[in-house]
Amino acid sequence: MADPDAVLATVVSLITEVIGEDYAVGLEIGMGTTFQEDLELESIEFTSLAERLMEIYGERVDFMSWLADMDVDEIIAMTVGELVDHISSSLAAGSGASEG
């Protein structure tokens, strides 16, 4: 698996960019943070986050297929940790047996 700490740092940085540093300054964003309840991310902000993640990770992480397999309740309840795990496992799958 790719380094989850590095992926988390990237995701937190992008979330901060999307929601704005002024809003993020009082938030502790971690693996258990939810996009809906904790961050109150609007759908347009979530879309912006997904676009930024695709710019960084490209084809190695298929966000659209991953999200398409979820129902609305799962997407609403999604945590930062679930996203980090998906990215990490996708990156590890793409790197073959060379890692870990």
CATH number, domain of 64, equals: 1.10.1200
* pLDDT for the residue numbered 64: 85
CA distance 3 to 91: 9
93, two tokens = 């799958």
Give the mean model confidence (pLDDT) for residues 44-61: 92
Contact call for residues 86 and 50 (beta carbons, < 8 A): no
Task: Please give the single-letter amino acid code of residue 15.
Answer: I
Q: Is the pLDDT of residue 98 over 70?
A: no
Domain membership flag for residue 45:
yes
Domain membership flag for residue 62:
yes
Domain membership flag for residue 77:
yes
pTM: 0.88
Instruction: Summarize pLDDT for 13-34 with one digit per residue, the tens.
Output: 999 999 999 988 888 999 999 9
Q: Is the pLDDT of residue 57 over 80?
A: yes
CA distance 90 to 26: 31
